[in-house]
């Protein structure tokens, strides 16, 4: 794909500053867009925007289509007349540097409930009409999602495999009764999605007007406890009880002797193919309604993926299975050309890890840029993650949400790698985060991106995610004072110097 040489910042909306326990898509998001535009950055890369559950990971969501209601802005709701300033008077004393999900979620849901009650009691005709239009145009996924969340709520929030058999197996009579029983709850969940989509699309439009494109994210697999698996069991390898028979992961490698057990259910690609990949086409269209580019997570899994029999404790015992390959991407290209008029896939291929020739061939067939992580490069001059080895058609990062921060990496790296990094960069390590940023910005990579934490020169305490750690992830937030004129000028100069 033909990309323009530009730069950007990786920051999930939950990490934005603010007073409501979590970053949201209100005034501070618009301020961040202004910061990007004024510093001559043209990209804002976010993580998946879906509704998070256990573990708070945006890569394990209750839906591949829905938005995260926790990101809805209370300030915007006040502006719409759906909340009043008095509704916020019971706000807990939140830590403004970290998201405390256990403390924040009950308060936010209570606040959204107040907005829904006010909408039902007294809302403008125009808002009701907008909601009706939204519900009709998104019915393909929204109806099942709202029903799924309502049943989940009624049964204490547990996974759908613990529901009564008739609901687990989607017995038509049981579903009809549930729609009547939970009608109010269903309407509420639909309303939350309406609010999210409305606020996000307004923000997205503003970003584009300021010359900022948004890079979204599609995880290859979906969570087992999701509306997607519950409502489309035929698309996944499940047994008669609805349990996965095989699950996703990666085999043992240099980094893990037992591999990584992800546990996501695997797709029945033959069933997807028979439908013309209808679910995937709908998923891609829905995502591109919210963003401009898509980072396609675990791209190698579309060429071939590691299949692990369910019930194994580790990922050691599995097998490689061919993915859908070009068949899926041809369908995506044809669909996007039909709906968006584009003949190119606006996709960044997350091609990290052990990449085989078939993965490279698939990526190159569609001219998709791959990813380069500079933190991975300090092993030898021949390392493909070093800038002098980059091809033009790639997206270069100092690190991603799964890495330590640049400074954190430097402080914890093996001595040999640290010494090589200093020699390679020609620096003394006193400004290591900025040294990495400069190396990425000066490279031939068409896109250069760094996490906000690296621009702020933060250490390992600001890391967003530890892939092997349960709990304590996705919590970091920036401070209000971090978006200042000094930093803006420094980034702008970097973009000027390297024609980004």
Cβ-based neighbour number of residue 317 at 10 Å: 13
Exposed, middle or buried: residue 473 (CB in 10 Å: 0-12, 13-18, 19+)?
middle
Tokens 């803006």 map to which residue? 488
412: Cα within 13 Å, side-chain hemisphere:
12
Rounded Cα gap, residues 177 and 193, in angstroms:
23
Rounded Cα gap, residues 467 and 353, in angstroms:
14
Q: Which of 80, 144, 350, 351 is catalytic?
A: 350
Q: List, in sequence order, every residue forming a beta bridge with 309; answer none if it has no partner.
A: 246
Q: Which of 292, 402, 417, 482 is catalytic?
A: 402
Q: Is 297 a catalytic residue?
A: yes
Mind spelling out the 3-state secondary structure of 376-387? HHCCCCCCCCCH
What's CA 479's distance to the chain center, in Å?
22
Q: Is 402 a catalytic residue?
A: yes
Q: Which of 297, 335, 351, 475 is catalytic?
A: 297
Q: Is 117 a catalytic residue?
A: no
Rounded Cα gap, residues 440 and 419, in angstroms:
19
Contacting residues for 17 by C-beta, under 8 A, at least 6 apart: 23, 28, 96, 477, 478, 479, 480, 482, 483
Rounded Cα gap, residues 337 and 291, in angstroms:
17
Q: List, in sequence order, every residue forming a beta bridge with 321; answer none if it has no partner.
A: 305
Active site residues: 297, 350, 402
């Amino acid at each position: 794909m033909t990309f323009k040489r530009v730069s950007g910042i990786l920051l999930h909306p939950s990490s934005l500053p603010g007073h409501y326990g979590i970053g949201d898509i209100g005034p501070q998001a618009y301020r961040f867009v202004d910061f990007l535009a004024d510093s001559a950055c043209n990209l804002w890369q976010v993580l998946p925007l879906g509704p998070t559950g256990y573990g708070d990971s945006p890569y394990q969501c209750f839906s591949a289509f829905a938005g995260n209601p926790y990101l809805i802005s209370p300030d915007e709701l006040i502006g719409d007349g759906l909340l009043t300033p008095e509704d916020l008077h019971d706000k807990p004393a939140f830590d403004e540097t970290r998201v405390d999900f256990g403390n924040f979620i009950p308060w936010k849901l209570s606040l959204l409930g107040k907005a829904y009650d006010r909408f039902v009691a007294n809302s403008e005709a125009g808002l009701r009409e907008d909601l009706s239009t939204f519900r009709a145009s998104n019915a393909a996924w929204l109806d099942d999602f709202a029903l799924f969340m309502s049943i989940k709520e009624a049964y204490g929030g547990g996974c759908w495999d613990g529901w009564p058999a008739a609901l687990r197996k989607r017995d038509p009579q049981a579903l009809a009764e549930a729609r009547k029983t939970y009608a109010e709850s269903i309407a509420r969940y639909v309303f939350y999605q309406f609010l999210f989509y409305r606020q996000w699309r307004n923000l997205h439009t503003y970003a584009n007007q300021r010359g900022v494109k948004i890079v979204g994210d599609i995880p290859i697999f979906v969570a087992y406890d999701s509306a997607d698996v519950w409502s489309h069991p035929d698309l996944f390898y499940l047994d008669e009880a609805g349990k996965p028979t095989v699950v996703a992961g990666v085999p043992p490698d240099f980094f893990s002797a037992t591999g990584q057990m992800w546990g996501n259910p695997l797709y029945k690609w033959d069933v997807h193919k028979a439908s013309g990949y209808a679910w995937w086409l709908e998923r891609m269209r829905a995502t591109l309604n919210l963003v401009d580019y898509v980072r396609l997570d675990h791209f190698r899994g579309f060429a071939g993926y590691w299949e692990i029999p369910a019930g194994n404790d580790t990922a050691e015992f599995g097998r490689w299975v061919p993915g859908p390959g070009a068949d899926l991407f041809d369908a995506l290209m044809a669909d996007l050309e039909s709906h968006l008029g584009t003949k190119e896939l606006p996709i960044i291929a997350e091609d990290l890890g052990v990449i085989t020739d078939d993965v490279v061939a698939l990526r190159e067939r569609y001219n998709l840029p791959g990813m380069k992580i500079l933190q991975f490069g300090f092993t030898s001059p021949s390392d493909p993650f070093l800038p002098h080895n980059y091809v033009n058609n790639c997206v270069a990062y100092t690190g991603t949400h799964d890495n330590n921060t640049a400074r954190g990496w430097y402080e914890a790296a093996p001595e040999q790698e640290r010494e090589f990094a200093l020699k390679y960069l020609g620096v003394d390590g006193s400004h290591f985060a900025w040294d990495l940023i400069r190396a990425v910005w000066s490279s031939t990579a068409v896109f250069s991106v760094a996490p906000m934490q690296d621009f702020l020169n933060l250490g390992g305490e600001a890391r967003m995610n530890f892939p092997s750690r349960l709990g304590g992830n996705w919590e970091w937030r920036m401070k209000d004072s971090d978006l200042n004129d000094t930093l803006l000028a420094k980034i702008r100069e970097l973009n000027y110097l390297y024609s980004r």
